[in-house]
Amino acid sequence: MNRRHIVQYIASTAALLATGTLPYAVSRLLAPNTGPPPVRDYLRPPGALQDDAAFVAACIGCGLCGQVCPPQCILFHQREGGDKVNTPYINPTLSACILCDQCMQVCPTEALTPVDKNDVNMGIAQIDRLACYPWVDRGVCGACVSVCPLGSRAITFNFAGFYQPIIQDGCVGCGQCVEVCPHPSLPIWVVDRAQGKVAKHT
């Protein structure tokens, strides 16, 4: 077999392989997302190590935190999680943390460390004032304020009322305000503290 035939054979083989694997590549692109619901971010349970890489390394995926959680808000990363597989997370749009501390008490590693509910740091709630009903004069709400387990130290109303919610420094990011928010676009969300309590628009 001369050089030309070798090159032709290699080229035809490569083309055959590419054609054969194309359906698999397309199916991966078209396959439904089997991971957690599409949220802007997920929350780690209360008492979690603040460095997520350290949390993932410390968590052994035992699932005990999810078993003892009263509202069953603790979910676990599955195949979509990569190195985070079997690690717990909370999607507050489905069910938020109630700060009961049971997950922290049952964790056998340092992944979740018991802390007072006022010292929990899951993030901080952030309000988009261009979408929140009371802030855009689209009605009276106040659901986020009424449901907060920490009361006015975490969230309260703007001066003079009008049911416009204001996040306070005492917010620990449990996500209960997210769960009860009636607005479909969720103008309230739990973010990293560095992002602030009011959404910024450019």
> Where residue 18 falls among pLDDT bands split at 50, 70, 90?
very low
Given this model, what pLDDT does residue 36 score? 43
Nearest-angstrom CA–CA distance, 33 and 29: 10
Pair (144, 103) in one structural domain = no
pLDDT for 99 beyond 90: yes
pLDDT for 187 beyond 50: yes
- Of the three residues 119, 153, 181, the one that is the final residue of a domain is 119
Q: Which domain holds residue 88?
A: 34-119
Predicted structure pTM score: 0.77
Pair (18, 43) in one structural domain = no
- Using DSSP's 3-state secondary structure scheme, residue 106 falls into helix
Pair (67, 46) in one structural domain = yes
Pair (38, 97) in one structural domain = yes
Given this model, what pLDDT does residue 38 score? 46
Greater pLDDT, 190 or 19: 190
Pair (152, 192) in one structural domain = yes
- Of the three residues 119, 134, 161, the one that is the final residue of a domain is 119
Greater pLDDT, 97 or 34: 97
Greater pLDDT, 15 or 175: 175
Q: How many domains does the chain have?
A: 3
| Closest by Cα among 195, 201, 37 to 123 | 195
Greater pLDDT, 172 or 25: 172
Pair (69, 93) in one structural domain = yes
Report the CATH number at residue 98: 3.30.70.20
Q: What are the distances in angstroms from CA 190 to CA 15, 29, 93?
A: 49, 30, 11
Pair (97, 46) in one structural domain = yes
Pair (42, 94) in one structural domain = yes
Phi-psi domain of 82 (left: phi exceeds 0; alpha: psi -120 through 50; beta: other): left
- Of the three residues 52, 85, 119, the one that is the final residue of a domain is 119
Task: Report the Cα–Cα distance between both ends of the chain, in Å, rounded.
Answer: 65
Pair (104, 128) in one structural domain = no
Pair (137, 200) in one structural domain = yes
Pair (112, 127) in one structural domain = no
Pair (108, 44) in one structural domain = yes
> Where residue 163 falls among pLDDT bands split at 50, 70, 90?
confident
